[in-house]
Amino acid sequence: MASKRMQSFSRSLKTLRTFNSTSKDPLTQCLAPGLSRSMATETSMPSQVSREYDPTFLQTATDPAFELQDSVLTTIYKFPTMEPLRFESYASKHLHLPLRRDILHRAVIFEGDFTRQGTASTKTRWEIHGSHRKIRPQKGTGMARLGTRQSPMLKGGGKSFGPHPRDFATALPKKMYDLAWRTALSWRYRRGELIVCEDGMDIEHPKTRFARQIFEHNHWGREDGRSLVITGSFKKNLFRALRHAGEDGRVQMVKEVDVKDLLELGRVIIEKRALDEILSQHQSDLVSKVRSAV
């Protein structure tokens, strides 16, 4: 038994010597390849990249391509031929803002609460017409105890805890609401779904068939998510043609549009005059900063 133990010990010692002579880093040799890469990406580091710390890293870490631009360009089209006419420059704080779902959500809820009528009303037992005397004696009739005819337990009586006229409107800061408008336009612009057309958007014939052909040719119809057409003023032929083409989209004047309309359909086809009016009316958070700086 002692000889066998000595042989086993000598083999282990020999293996250990061999391991030490061939390995420079025992930790690297012991770790499995998968375990050693679990805290890194699956892509190997390029050979030309230095692994040493560069003291100028913090100065060069910012990529100029991701910096916020001062202005962005948008193409102005001629409606309905959609011929490109020219480029227009808009400030990045108008059409190139990052997506803020929280602000858009608050704006949509604010608009929905503001449009609720709150006119539902019911009468209490004190508003029901009739005498308020006791219907029958308290005891001696063998029937349940009852008070007045206006009791909510009786047919034709008052309503307990019923609805009454109220205001459902909620509060939202104007600067946040204006930011939501420009965020919605920026979201459409960044996705390529904001189509700006020259002033005077109208069609020659007030026929629904003609409007449907325009939507089908430009891929604006129901199959492509429908479209919202926004004009600065009432256009007789355009409004009449799209009145019965609701399955392909709808047309609204700029004073009728809200944030929900900008987000609801597949794209926004807006007149330049209407776009400029929206941007001028919803920039209170930017005007205050300019005034404070002056």
Percent of the chain residues topping a pLDDT of 90: 60
Q: Is residue 202 part of a domain?
A: yes
Based on the fold, state whether residues 74 and 153 are members of the same structural domain. Answer: no
* Structure confidence at residue 40 (pLDDT): 30
Do 257 and 186 lie in a common domain? yes
**Would you state the pLDDT for residue 9?**
52
* Cα dihedral 171→258→89→286 (10° resolution): -10
Range of the domain at 147: 118-167
Tokens of 164: 């009454």
Residue 229 in 3-state DSSP? strand
pLDDT tens digits for 61-80? 333 443 456 889 999 999 98
- Is the residue at 287 inside a domain? no
pTM beyond 0.85, yes or no: no
Q: Is residue 84 part of a domain?
A: yes
Same domain, 83 and 216: yes
Do 78 and 207 belong together in one domain? yes
Name the pLDDT band for 191 (thresholds 50, 70, 90): very high
Query: Mean pLDDT over all residues of the chain?
Result: 80
Is pLDDT at 105 greater than 80 in this prediction? yes
- Provide CB contacts within 8 A for 167, sequence distance 6+: 118
